[in-house]
């Protein structure tokens, strides 16, 4: 059963505008009914995509640009059983490459965050010493 915009946003615990922004940012991943200007309806496949985006944003802390690089662009009517072995291998290779890209970017992002944390810890120590010296 297709859902309207407000229940979708409530289920995801995000604003209506956030759902609209995600659909606009990832149009290849959503049904035509989700992309209407009015009377939007979200299919179960649309909900799965929104839940994945929400996971990437809220839990993994990825930016929209990072998600664009890892969210595979596979047509909604894609059925691996009908593609044949060669195309299935191509899709497998594509997914492996996308995973490697995601993993590399995630590791770089985590390294940068860890470096920032270390800088902040050092600054915190410096400020504590300064405060003790003032007191």
Q: Give the architecture-level CATH label for domain 1-78.
A: Orthogonal Bundle (1.10)
Q: How high is the pLDDT of residue 59? A: 84
CA distance 47 to 37: 18
Mean pLDDT, all residues of the chain: 84
For the cut 90, the answer to whether the pLDDT of residue 72 exceeds it is no
Compute the CA torsion angle 16, 19, 25, 26 (nearest 10 deg). -150
pLDDT tens-digit series, residues 80-133: 454 455 556 676 777 777 777 888 888 888 998 999 999 999 999 999 888 887
């Amino acid at each position: 059963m297709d859902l309207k915009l407000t229940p979708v946003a409530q289920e995801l615990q995000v604003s209506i505008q956030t759902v609209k922004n995600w659909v606009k940012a990832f149009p290849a991943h959503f049904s035509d009914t989700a992309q209407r200007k009015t009377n939007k309806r979200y299919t179960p496949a649309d909900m799965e995509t929104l839940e994945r985006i929400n996971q990437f944003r809220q839990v993994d802390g990825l930016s929209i640009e990072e998600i664009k690089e890892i969210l595979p662009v596979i047509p909604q009517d894609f059925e691996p059983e009908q593609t044949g072995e060669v195309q299935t291998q191509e899709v497998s290779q594509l997914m492996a490459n996308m995973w490697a890209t995601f993993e590399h970017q995630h590791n770089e992002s985590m390294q940068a965050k860890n470096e920032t944390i270390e800088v902040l810890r050092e600054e915190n120590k410096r400020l504590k010493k300064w405060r003790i010296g003032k007191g």
